[in-house]
Structure 1
């Protein structure tokens, strides 16, 4: 891992076409400006991790079969009849 020290207004390059600039420093918060081509995907890490967890949950979720859905509908119909 490379660790750089930059002051407000300073920047660095990633490759030939991505520039990262320190826009503002306010206490423990840093505003970063990223100048990159439109085809470069920029995403906060926590959003990527949340998306990965959602994809994992969706892929392991059990999807009810047509038979199960039919049984639920029949049960609901019988419940309504008893009221």
Structure 2
């Protein structure tokens, strides 16, 4: 992990396209602004993890449904 110190108004650039700017610091809260191309998804980590879990659950349900469908065709009644 790269660790940097930045002051209010200072930025970090990632791969020429993403700019992260420190907008303000109040106590232990840091406000940041992110400029990135529209095709780059940006999520708070807790939201990202929630989306990943929902995707895993959906994939598991799809797998179970496909498995049941295949079993039905292998052993028709």
Same fold (TM over 0.5): yes
In structure 2, the residue matched to 1:8 is 8
* Structure 2 gap segments, 5+ residues each: 69-77
After TM superposition, the runs of 4+ consecutive aligned structure 1 residues lying more than 6 A away are: none
The 2-side partners of 1:59 and 1:40 are apart by 23
2:13 alignment partner, SS class: strand
**TM-score normalised by L of structure 2:** 0.71
**TM-score normalised by L of structure 1:** 0.66
Q: Which has the larger radius of gyration?
A: 1
Aligned-residue Cα RMSD (Å) equals: 1.7
1:12 alignment partner, SS class: strand
* Number of equivalences: 64
Task: Report how far residue 2 of structure 1 moved.
Answer: 0.5
